Amino acid sequence: MNESWKVDKDADSVVWLTIDKPNTSANVLSSHVLRELDTILAPLTREPPRAVIVISGKKSGFVAGADIKEFTGITNIEEGFRLIHAGQEVLNRLEALPCPTVAAIHGFALGGGLELALACRYRVAVNDEKLSLGLPEVQLGIHPGFGGTIRSVRLIGVRAAMEMMLTGKPLRADKALRLGLVDKLVSADQLRAAAKEIALQAPAPHQPPFSERVLSWPIVRGFIRGKLEAQVASKARRDQYPAPYAMIDLWANGGNSYEAEARSIAQLFLSSTSRSLVRVYLLQDRLKALGGKGGPEVKHVHVVGAGVMGGDIAAWSALRGFTVTLQDRGVEFIEPAIKRAHELFDKRIKDPAKNKAARERLQADVEGVGAAAAEVVIEAIFESLEAKQALYARLEPRMKPDAILATNTSSLMLEPLTEKLARPERLVGLHFFNPVPQMPLIEIVQSERTDASVMQAAVAFSRKLDKLPVPCRSAPGFIVNRVLMPYLHEAMYAAQEGVPLAIIDKAAVSFGMPMGPIELADVVGLDVCTHVGEIIAAELGRPAPDLTRLRELVAAKKLGRKSGEGFYLWKDGKPHKPPADGQSAPQDLIDRLILVLVNECVACLREKVVEDPDLVDAAVIFGTGFAPFRGGPLAYAQARGVNKVVARLGELAARHGSRFTADPGWSLVGSTGAHSP
């Protein structure tokens, strides 16, 4: 019995293989699905039809990839090799069928899904903005394993194939056609007919131009290998992210051995990087699942405050299909936000009609009349308790009784904000991160009085915005800003000791952070860092470094990237860092920066700001970019050894002060702790 495949033979002796894995919204190539396909291919090999067409029965798309959860069960290299080699043999049999084979693709073909399509002689795809074709395995610390490292280069050439595999970024319709990854683009209603037409015509399969094939000649490979390795080295170290280097090695060593591909990926499966990145992927899936299905219908979103955050929240909401009214004191404050929104739409929406529709969904609303029609009202004004309370006094009487009132506060606790509300149970925190279009996380903040149904509605709304929600309790700085402040403050302590700013940043980046704390402060905005840091330090009663230099920069309107100068001078969106004149970082600097952050994560866990260690890690990964290959701060602590981390904090406390005193909650990490990568 085939559970996931349906086999039909039409009047022209064309066999249609429809993949439709039961009880899932998307197809995945689990080992069971591949074994089923293998049983189907055996009789087709003995008695070949005129053609075979592989198509999906899911509305969502073709095939999303391999079953990631199977990777977590691999315990040794030989086991990983057997799993991958078995899948390779199935796709090799598909490729070897003595008749034309076509993959009819709609929506997406990713990872193992694209490898399945590559094993077919031809690929026909639906030409729309949803089409996404890619080999994103590098994002899991591995590389394609079902023949993708071989067939992709053979089909589109080493440069295009390596760009796709090394970055993990998917290709859209036009580029996929131009490169030859697909043979034809058609409308959705033409997909089946076009697939059958190309199968019966059986033209010569695509191959890359001669100029690309030359690059794979043995005499040229060494030169290309060096360029590829230099390209990767500028973004990732081999010891931290081995997968891209393994891909280059496979190609440079011949690039046509399926066994070598399988053995390489089997080794990567067991690397700490892959274990951590798979964990990050599963954490992301958990956050997505929190939204559930349905929830109250939201059509209209009203945003108050057209600054950087409010304007970008409004723009993103309109991009995601909501009608949005944007309120501020005057139209002159709203116009810059509308302009930024149009730039976002132009970048993200290429279809002119859909672009126009998005523009029409976003409306300036100086008088705030949209508040009466909105299901969600988001306040995004400056961080002042009195100002927010005064705004709520004007807003709440105009809102629908069942509307959600959300605040984008980044530091204020919600309980004081509810004090003068008639319906305090309907206030929730929706803390977005800057820049809104790039940052995936939203902290969904619950006060002591927030109704559970409002929390769930806010989580569901965040998923409709395509964001990752982390529910948390109202507490100073919530999760992300709270753990960032000790990290940023420690950088200030180091600077006061004479460590050059660029050296401080370099130390953090060498650990795996996306940028250093000094650059991060400039990106966030020095005014924001100062204000939020003061609020959190006061609420928690924590010591803080001398911030005189920071306040001087703020007073001089040198606020960081947004003003063109902060700690660094910014040009074209990039910091210009002064040379460090050969100075090196103190030996304990990385531990000082990272362990003070990790220790604060433990405090959040102990205080139940979130419900478990996984959510702490998820918030810090998706909210700060914390080195993904380390699996999150608490996972990092477990991998290093909780007792060793606590002992190291003791050493740092003895040398640098009580800010490194180990939090009493470390036993929670040891007993319930984050999963070790």
The catalytic residue positions are: 431
Smallest CA-to-CA distance from 531 within 550, 546, 516 is with: 550
Question: Could you give the CA distance from residue 185 to residue 189 in angstroms, rounded to a whole number?
Answer: 12
Beta strand pairing status for 441-446 and 427-432?
Answer: antiparallel
Residue 444 carries which side chain, given as an amino acid letter?
I
Give the three-class secondary structure for 620.
Answer: helix
Beta-bridge mates of residue 320: none
Smallest CA-to-CA distance from 462 within 618, 240, 313, 628 is with: 313
Residue 133 carries which side chain, given as an amino acid letter?
L
Q: Which two tokens stand for residue 113?
A: 């899904």
| Kind plus residue range of the DSSP H or E element containing 125 | strand 122-126
How many CB atoms sit inside 10 A of residue 394's CB?
11
Q: What is the 3-state secondary structure (H, E, C) of 418-440?
A: HCCCCCHHHEEEEEECCCCCCCC
How many CB atoms sit inside 10 A of residue 572's CB?
5
| Kind plus residue range of the DSSP H or E element containing 469 | strand 468-473
Burial of 542 (0-12, 13-18, 19+ CB in 10 A): middle
Question: Could you give the CA distance from residue 74 to residue 81 in angstroms, rounded to a whole number?
Answer: 10
Q: Between vectors from CA 419 to CA 414 and to CA 425, what angle results, nearest 5°?
A: 65
The long-range contacts involving 343-351, CB below 8 angstroms and separated by at least 24 positions, are 344/312, 344/315, 344/316, 344/319, 344/437, 345/315, 345/318, 345/319, 348/319, 348/437, 349/319, 350/129, 351/129
How many CB atoms sit inside 10 A of residue 193's CB?
12
How many CB atoms sit inside 10 A of residue 4's CB?
21
Question: Could you give the CA distance from residue 308 to residue 333 in angstroms, rounded to a whole number?
Answer: 11
List phi, psi (to 5°) of 375: -85, -25
Question: Could you give the CA distance from residue 19 to residue 26 in angstroms, rounded to a whole number?
Answer: 10
Label residues 499-510 b or e (16+ Cβ within 10 Å = b).
bbbbbbbbbbee
Question: Could you give the CA distance from residue 62 to residue 106 in angstroms, rounded to a whole number?
Answer: 6
User: Can you say how many angstroms the Cα of residue 596 is from the centroid of all Cα atoms in its chain?
Assistant: 25
Q: What is the 3-state secondary structure (H, E, C) of 331-354?
A: HHHHHHHHHHHHHHHHHHCCCHHH
70 and 83 in contact (C-beta within 8 Å)? yes
Q: How many Cα atoms occupy the beta-carbon half-sphere of 11 within 13 Å?
A: 0
Burial of 201 (0-12, 13-18, 19+ CB in 10 A): exposed
517 and 508 in contact (C-beta within 8 Å)? yes
| Kind plus residue range of the DSSP H or E element containing 115 | helix 112-118
